[in-house]
């Protein structure tokens, strides 16, 4: 680093509001003539990580170009004109998923700023847990925030850093933030990728053509453009692609890696390989573990599509009970989760799933789903199975009970709205209306990802949503981040 800086590594945490929630996918290309087109394709493959907004920023040698919009990648990057305008051999992109409120154009990423060293674009997957505290400090110093996104704190910290070089500024900025981040950033000369020291969110490196490099949240986004998987960005690593090739820095204090186990259970795409493990295989393993842990005599294993399918296959193979599609899903509805109100969410479940009556009537079913969050989906699905004439309905869940919210980038409701926070498993079974209900055990889940069990002293993964053990400090939440700074909550 070239000059010292006064900034201390503060710890504060995450607000109990909706404004900072983000659950996203990131992508970047260095040195390819079709960088923006490849980025649009990559974002298509990452669409499951966020459907509310999408954006691409490219650098064409003289200028940066940006296209950001609310809605899906397909809706916004479907014209040759848009892609042509996003010229240049370097580009980064982002898909965003946020909770109710806060879906504002100014929050759509990548964020871009003209800084003292030139243009800088950044896209972020994860959540900073001291964003609000940082923001207050920065606003007191005179920074003018344009968005309500936690990512902007990183941008301002880079802008106000006393270091000279971009990488030193970035490192300095990141030393002052807490929480989960997988970042891609673009300067005039460099594509940069960073994973937080605990490596909570995924980020992988790929290669395309002779000299092209790619960064992506998941390997499925490399596959779509025919890029070759090189390796995962390591926790706490900064990778830089420039004329000099690829460089790697490890500037942060070493920390135990705590990858998010929920990425394996639900969030990532099943065809992705994360940290050397195929997500589909992990999900099947969980299903097999579930079958061993909580076997029940039944006629048919029925997945709740789509997220319950791999675990249901694993359950069926292990138990020897027939697997069948007793529920058919319409693919023309979004995920139930993205509907803003409980009432609409209920309706969404009906629109999304339908009982395959002819197969269900008179059968003893084991329904397999990946998680119970609010419980809305389960209540509706079970009612649907009963109405279709099922004789018995047993439910098996391929995650432990979700008892705590996530502050690191997975959208979960407040504790009070989590069914498993408010009820025991028996109470949940009664409420949902099933003959029996079982969740995978903590150790069973860890076995499914290749461990011998959960290391209680030092868990191998972040499983805070199931245990309440948060590996990264919840600074804003536990501290006093000061009054709400975000006042412009809607815009045209
Ligand atoms: P619920 O009706 O709230 O219990 O929702 C449970 C369903 O939502 C599960 O079957 C999952 O497929 C899905 N789900 C779980 N977690 C999330 C999440 N963070 N974002 C979107 N969908 C989720």
Q: What is the DSSP letter of 323?
A: B
Please identify, by atom number, the ligand 1 atom nearest to the C-alpha of residue 419: 4
For 270, the enclosing helix (H) or strand (E) is: none
Q: Looking at residue 148, what is its pLDDT?
A: 87
Q: Looking at residue 352, what is its pLDDT?
A: 82
CA distance 411 to 430: 26
79 and 226 belong to one structural domain: yes
**Pair 64, 58: CB distance under 8 Å:** yes
* Block mean pLDDT (10 aa), the chain, length 492: 35 32 85 98 97 96 97 92 97 81 80 97 96 94 92 97 97 97 98 98 97 98 98 98 97 97 97 96 98 98 97 98 96 58 62 92 98 95 97 98 96 93 98 98 98 97 98 89 60 62
Of 24, 143, 220, 462, which residue is the catalytic one? 24
Q: Whose CA is nearest to atom 12 of ligand 1?
A: 307
Assigned domain for 265 exists: no
Structure-block tokens of residue 314? 């694993």
Q: Looking at residue 11, what is its pLDDT?
A: 27
CA distance 287 to 316: 8
Assigned domain for 20 exists: yes
Active site residue 220: no
104 and 218 belong to one structural domain: yes
Please identify, by atom number, the ligand 1 atom nearest to the C-alpha of residue 97: 20
CATH, residue 287: 3.40.50.2020
Q: Whose CA is nearest to atom 8 of ligand 1?
A: 337
Please identify, by atom number, the ligand 1 atom nearest to the C-alpha of residue 304: 10
CA distance 51 to 407: 20
251 and 277 belong to one structural domain: no
Structure-block tokens of residue 2? 């070239």
Q: Which of 230, 258, 286 is the endpoint of a domain?
A: 258
Q: Before 110, cis peptide (omega within 30)?
A: yes
CA distance 234 to 44: 24
CA distance 4 to 163: 7
Assigned domain for 264 exists: no
304 and 444 belong to one structural domain: yes
445 and 320 belong to one structural domain: yes
CA distance 393 to 385: 7
pTM metric for this prediction: 0.92
Assigned domain for 267 exists: no
Q: Whose CA is nearest to atom 23 of ligand 1?
A: 337
Q: Which residues contact 16 (CB under 8 A, 6 or more apart)?
A: 414, 477
Assigned domain for 60 exists: yes
Q: Whose CA is nearest to atom 5 of ligand 1?
A: 373
User: What angle separates helix 151-160 from helix 131-141, to the nearest 10 degrees?
Assistant: 40
**Pair 393, 367: CB distance under 8 Å:** yes
Assigned domain for 32 exists: yes
Beta bridge partners of 58: 65, 91
Ligand 1, residues at Cβ distance < 6 Å: 266, 304, 307, 335-337, 369-378, 410-412
Residue (of 295, 309, 448, 291) closest to 370 by Cα position: 309
Cα torsion at 101, 153, 106, 39 (round to 10°)?
-110
251 and 322 belong to one structural domain: no
Q: How many CB atoms are closer than 10 A to CB 146? A: 14
Structure-block tokens of residue 76? 């916004």
**Pair 52, 74: CB distance under 8 Å:** no
Domain count, the chain: 2
Q: How close is the Cα of 266 to the center of ligand 1, in Å?
A: 8
Residue (of 28, 366, 344) closest to 184 by Cα position: 28
Please identify, by atom number, the ligand 1 atom nearest to the C-alpha of residue 372: 4
Please identify, by atom number, the ligand 1 atom nearest to the C-alpha of residue 374: 3
C-alpha triplet 389, 390, 394: angle, nearest 5°: 155
229 and 139 belong to one structural domain: yes
Q: How close is the Cα of 465 to the center of ligand 1, in Å?
A: 13
Largest CA distance in the chain: 74
Q: How close is the Cα of 373 to the center of ligand 1, in Å?
A: 6
Residue (of 104, 90, 113, 105) closest to 35 by Cα position: 90
Q: Looking at residue 487, what is its pLDDT?
A: 58
Q: Which of 258, 281, 299 is the endpoint of a domain?
A: 258
Find where tokens 């490099």 sit: 213
The tally of CA atoms less than 13 A away on the side-chain side of residue 334 is: 15
Query: Which of 24, 371, 384, 395 gets mutated to test ligand 1 (max ligand atoms within 8 A of its CB)?
Result: 371
245 and 277 belong to one structural domain: no
392 and 336 belong to one structural domain: yes
End-to-end CA distance of the chain: 43
**Pair 14, 475: CB distance under 8 Å:** yes
Q: How close is the Cα of 459 to the center of ligand 1, in Å?
A: 24
**Pair 130, 476: CB distance under 8 Å:** yes
Q: Which residues contact 395 (CB under 8 A, 6 or more apart)?
A: 366, 367, 368, 369, 378, 382, 429, 432, 434, 436, 437, 438
290 and 346 belong to one structural domain: yes
Q: How close is the Cα of 267 to the center of ligand 1, in Å?
A: 9
Report long-range pairs for 146-150 (Cβ below 8 Å, ≥24 apart): 146/106, 147/104, 147/106, 147/107, 147/111, 148/19, 148/20, 148/102, 148/104, 148/106, 148/107, 148/486, 148/489, 149/20, 149/22, 149/107, 149/109, 149/111, 149/124, 150/20, 150/22, 150/124, 150/179
Please identify, by atom number, the ligand 1 atom nearest to the C-alpha of residue 375: 4
Structure-block tokens of residue 307? 């997220």
**Pair 300, 355: CB distance under 8 Å:** no
Q: Which of 213, 228, 258 is the endpoint of a domain?
A: 258
CATH, residue 246: 3.60.20.10
Q: Which domain holds residue 189?
A: 6-258
Query: Which of 337, 340, 418 gets mutated to test ligand 1 (max ligand atoms within 8 A of its CB)?
Result: 337
Q: How close is the Cα of 337 to the center of ligand 1, in Å?
A: 6
Query: Which of 304, 336, 414 gets mutated to test ligand 1 (max ligand atoms within 8 A of its CB)?
Result: 336
Q: How close is the Cα of 355 to the center of ligand 1, in Å?
A: 19
52 and 143 belong to one structural domain: yes
Show the beta-strand stretches assigned E in 357-420.
Answer: 364-369, 392-397
Assigned domain for 486 exists: no
Residue (of 390, 400, 395) closest to 432 by Cα position: 395
Find where tokens 């842990």 sit: 293
Assigned domain for 492 exists: no
For 432, the enclosing helix (H) or strand (E) is: helix 425-432
Show the beta-strand stretches assigned E in 223-314.
Answer: 228-232, 238-242, 245-249, 259-260, 273-274, 277-278, 300-303
Residue (of 24, 178, 160, 30) closest to 99 by Cα position: 24
253 and 288 belong to one structural domain: no
């Amino acid at each position: 680093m070239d000059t010292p800086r006064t900034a201390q590594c503060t710890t504060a945490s995450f607000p109990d509001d909706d404004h900072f929630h983000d659950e996203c996918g990131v992508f970047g290309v260095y040195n390819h003539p079709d960088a923006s087109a490849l980025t649009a394709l990559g974002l298509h493959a990452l669409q499951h990580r966020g459907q509310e907004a999408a954006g691409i920023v490219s650098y064409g040698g003289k200028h940066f170009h940006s296209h950001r919009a609310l809605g899906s990648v397909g809706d916004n990057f479907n014209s040759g004109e848009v892609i042509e305008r996003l010229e240049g051999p370097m580009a980064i992109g982002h898909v965003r998923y946020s909770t109710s409120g806060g879906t504002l154009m100014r929050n759509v990423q990548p964020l871009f700023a003209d800084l003292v060293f030139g243009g800088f674009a950044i896209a972020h997957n994860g959540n900073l847990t001291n964003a609000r505290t940082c923001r207050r400090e920065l606003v007191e110093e005179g920074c003018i925030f344009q968005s309500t996104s936690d990512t902007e704190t990183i941008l301002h910290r880079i802008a106000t850093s006393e270091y000279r070089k971009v990488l030193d500024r970035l490192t300095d900025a990141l030393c002052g933030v807490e929480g989960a981040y997988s970042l891609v950033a673009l300067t005039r000369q460099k594509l940069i990728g960073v994973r937080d020291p605990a490596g909570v969110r995924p980020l992988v490196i790929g290669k395309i053509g002779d000299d092209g490099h790619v960064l992506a949240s998941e390997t499925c986004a490399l596959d779509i453009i025919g890029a070759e998987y090189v390796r995962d960005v390591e926790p706490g690593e900064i990778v830089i692609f420039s004329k000099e090739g690829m460089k790697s820095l490890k500037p942060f204090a070493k920390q135990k890696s705590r990858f998010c186990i929920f990425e394996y259970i639900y969030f990532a795409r099943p065809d992705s390989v994360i940290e050397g493990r195929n997500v589909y295989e992990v999900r099947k393993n969980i299903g097999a573990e579930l079958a061993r842990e909580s076997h029940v005599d039944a006629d048919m294993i029925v997945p709740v599509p789509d997220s319950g399918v791999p675990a249901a296959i694993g359950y069926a193979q292990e138990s020897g009970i027939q697997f069948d599609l007793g529920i058919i899903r319409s693919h023309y509805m979004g995920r139930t989760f993205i509907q803003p109100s409980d009432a609409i969410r209920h309706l969404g479940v009906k629109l999304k799933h339908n009982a395959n009556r002819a197969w269900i009537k008179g059968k003893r079913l084991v329904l397999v789903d990946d998680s119970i969050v609010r419980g809305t989906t389960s209540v509706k699905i079970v009612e649907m199975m009963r109405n279709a004439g099922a004789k018995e309905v047993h439910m098996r869940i391929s995650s432990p009970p979700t008892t705590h919210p996530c502050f690191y980038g997975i959208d979960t409701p407040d504790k009070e709205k989590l069914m498993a926070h408010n009820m025991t498993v028996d109470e949940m079974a009664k409420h949902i209306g099933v003959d029996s209900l079982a969740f995978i055990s903590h150790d069973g889940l860890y076995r499914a990802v290749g461990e011998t069990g959960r290391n209680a002293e030092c868990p191998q993964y972040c499983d805070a949503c199931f245990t309440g053990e948060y590996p990264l400090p919840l600074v804003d939440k536990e501290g006093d981040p000061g009054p709400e700074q975000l006042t412009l909550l809607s815009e045209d």
